[in-house]
Structure formats: C-alpha cells, structure tokens
Amino acid sequence: MLLPVLSLVVGLAILAWSADRFVDGASGTARHFHVPPLLIGLLIIGFGTSAPEMVVSAMSALQGNPGIALGNAYGSNIANIALILGFTALLRPIAVQSRILKTELPLLLIVTLLAAFQLLDGYLGRLDAIILLAVFLALVLWSLREGLRRSDRIGEQVQDKIERKEPSLRKSVLWLIAGLLLLVASSRLLVWGATGIATRVGMSDLVIGLTVVAVGTSLPEMASTIAAARRNEHELALGNVIGSNLFNTLAVVGIAGSISPHAIDPSVLTRDVFVMGMLTASLFVIGYGFRGRPGRISRVEGAVLLAVWVFYTFMLLRNAAA
C-alpha cells in the first residue's frame, strides 16, 4: 500500500508544479512569436489550468481505467464549486457579476444538462464524445469573438506579467517541453497509484477519481481562484471556476470518451451529475441576491457549499467502504 500512496502523492505534487511550468513556457513562447494577449489569456492560460484534469483523464482512458477519467472530470466540477468557491468565500466573500449570471452560468447549466442527457442510456460513446468536443470548440470560438469585442482584461494581465519577466525564447521552449513531459509522466504515476489504492482497499476507480484525484487535479484552480479573490478580482475568481467546469464537462469527458467509449455506472447520473447540476443551479440563487442586496457568495453561503462537499465526500467514502 505504501508504494501506491507515495506514487499518488508524488504524482499530484509534480502534476501541479509541471502545469505551472507548462503555462509559463507556453505563454513565453507565444509572446516571442507575437501571439495576441487575447489568445494567450483564453487558450494557453485557460487550457493550462485544466491541463491536469485533461492529461489524467486521457491517461486513465488509455490505460483502461475509464472510471478515474469520468470521476476526475465530474469530481473536479463538484470540488470547484463546493470546495474551492466555498473555501474562497470563507476567506473573502465573492461578488457575482451580472454578466456571469446572464452568460457564463446559463451556458454551464445547459452543458451540464447535455452531459446528463448523454448518460441516460448508460453509455458514453464516441458520438457523444464528438458532440462534446464540437460544443467545446464552438464555445472557444465564441469566446474569442466576444473577447475581441471588449477589453481583454485577462490578456492584458498576461501581457504585463510576461513583459515583466520577459524570459528568453530558449528558456520558454525548455519549460514548455519539460512541463508537458512532466505532465504526462506525473499523470501516469498518479493513475497507477490511484488504481493501486483502489485495488487494495476494494474501492472503485470511479470513487477514487471523484475524491482524491479530483481534488488533486483541482489544485491549480484553487490557487488561482483564491489569488483572484484576494485581489478583489471577483469576476476572474468566479469565471475561473465556471470556465474550468465547462472545460471538464466538454473537453475532458470528450477526450476520455473518444479514446475509450464505455458503459457508465448508473450512480454517475443519479448521484454525481445530479449533485453537480444542483450546485450549478445554486449559484443562480446565490447570485441574484435577496432583499435588494447585490448578489454575492457570502461567508455563510461559502460555509454551506463547503459543508455540502464534505458531506458528499463522506457519503462516497462510506458507501465505498461498506
């Protein structure tokens, strides 16, 4: 048992570190080739923070562990809302902007309903995966178009950060390649450790993916969300979580399904996707506010979200051990 646990811990640590190096290298390389800040902000940074989920799920599917792949995606979504937003709101309440209520949250809810609809037949096929990836591509193109119409705050921040650092092209390419290689290697190590633990304790790959792996791969989102909230960048804090959940539901599940179509445990729909959908809908209730006050995730509401995640995780582990 010691070796799988050590592999899991080391894999998670290297995964989080290599994701940052990959983003730094990709951003620096793009800057040297005069890629617009908009593309760096929306694509490189956005993909980079979700790279752990994507690579882990792809490796899980390739190694014949689809439960980890699906559990990682949906478990990360649940952790993003309940654990990360809940914990962040306890530190500092998060204001909910009207644009997020009118655009991003409805999109996330529609995508969640699409995921639930696809799982009704108990099977995630390649056609389902292609649809998810096609919707993801359409959203990326739409985001780029919308970003060109308005001030790109994320792109400007990325540009300022790169200009202050201004790494050499050689160093940027080195970090890009090293980060990517370490992402793949640490993902394989993590998946091996997770499946080893699941085998030894009699726990399913799905539960391991929903809990330990999901929380571990969500560490980049937690770091960036807390940092944004402390800088009073509430739109970035909430937008980071919503963007990550869209990425996980569409791209991560889509990639895993295209690699390894497989039957779905009925509990994924009735338990995990249901909880994910309810948490997403709760952001609407919180965001619209009450008694005339602006919508925000208060410390009390953050504590409730955090309690939901603790209860959900406890029930998962208790039922798995039964």
Whether the pLDDT of residue 83 is over 90: the answer is yes
Mean residue pLDDT of the chain comes to 80
User: Is the C-alpha dihedral spanning 197, 57, 86, 274 positive or negative?
Assistant: negative
304 — pLDDT class (breaks 50, 70, 90): very high
pLDDT digits (tens, 9 = 90+) for 36-76: 554 555 555 556 667 777 888 888 888 888 888 899 899 99
pLDDT score, position 162 = 45
- Structural tokens at position 114: 């699409």
Residue 167 CA to residue 70 CA, distance in Å, equals 37
Give all strands (DSSP E) within 113-170, no chain letters: 123-124
Q: What is the DSSP string of 24-55?
A: HHHHHHHHHTT--HHHIIIIIIHHHHTHHHHH
- Structural tokens at position 229: 């909230």
- This prediction has a pTM of 0.80
Residue 317 CA to residue 322 CA, distance in Å, equals 9
pLDDT digits (tens, 9 = 90+) for 135-156: 999 988 887 776 666 544 545 5
Q: Where are the domains of the chain?
A: 2-321
Residue 289 CA to residue 97 CA, distance in Å, equals 11
**66-85 b/e (C-beta count within 10 Å ≥ 16 → b):** bbbbbbbbbbbbbbbbbbbb
Q: Note the CATH number of domain 2-321.
A: 1.20.1420.30
Residue 124 CA to residue 307 CA, distance in Å, equals 31
pLDDT digits (tens, 9 = 90+) for 218-237: 877 777 777 777 777 776 67
pLDDT score, position 255 = 92
Task: Write phi, then psi, for 78 (nearest 5 degrees).
Answer: -65, -45
Whether the pLDDT of residue 254 is over 70: the answer is yes
Whether the pLDDT of residue 88 is over 70: the answer is yes
Q: Are 88 and 219 in contact (CB under 8 A)?
A: no
Residue 81 CA to residue 109 CA, distance in Å, equals 13
Residue 75 CA to residue 210 CA, distance in Å, equals 4
